[in-house]
Amino acid sequence: MIRSFLKYFIVFALLVFSGWNLMNVSMKVQKMESDVAVLDKKIAKEQEKIRVLNAEWAYLNNPERLEAAAALALGLKATKGEAVISKVDAIPEYVPDYEVNADGGETSSSISISYGYRQVGARQ
């Protein structure tokens, strides 16, 4: 009789332990599912922020808007076709503003580069 009582007691204890373990695992799974749902919402919010930032970046880099802002803030205007050199012959010839000695040294203490009629780097 004691053997059968001990046998039923062990079976009952195992049932209680397995039931408690099942409830514990079930609660952990529910907690993890709610954590995943919260993280999914955060990911969706961040993706929406990234989408908005990409749209704002595209707007801010719009060439027409940049041109208007440059004209307003800096007084810059679009380059006209006449300002661009269309022929290679129209490029002024390089004329050095110094002489080279036989030993390879320069006779002038400062070097200024002259293009055509205008000197760049020289004091006027």
Q: What is the mean pLDDT of the chain?
A: 81
**For residue 117, what is the DSSP state?**
T
Cα gap 113→120, rounded to integer Å: 5
Say whether both 67 and 86 belong to one domain.
no
pLDDT band at residue 103 under the 50/70/90 scheme: low
Quick one: how many helices (H) and strands (E) in the chain?
Answer: 2, 3
Say whether both 108 and 51 belong to one domain.
no
Domain containing 57 equals 2-71
Say whether both 16 and 63 belong to one domain.
yes
Say whether both 61 and 86 belong to one domain.
no
pLDDT (tens digit, 9 = 90+) per residue, 3-58? 888 999 999 999 999 999 999 999 999 999 999 999 999 999 999 999 999 999 99
| pTM listed for this prediction | 0.47
Query: Angle at the Cα of 112 (from 103 to 105), degrees rounded to 5?
Result: 10
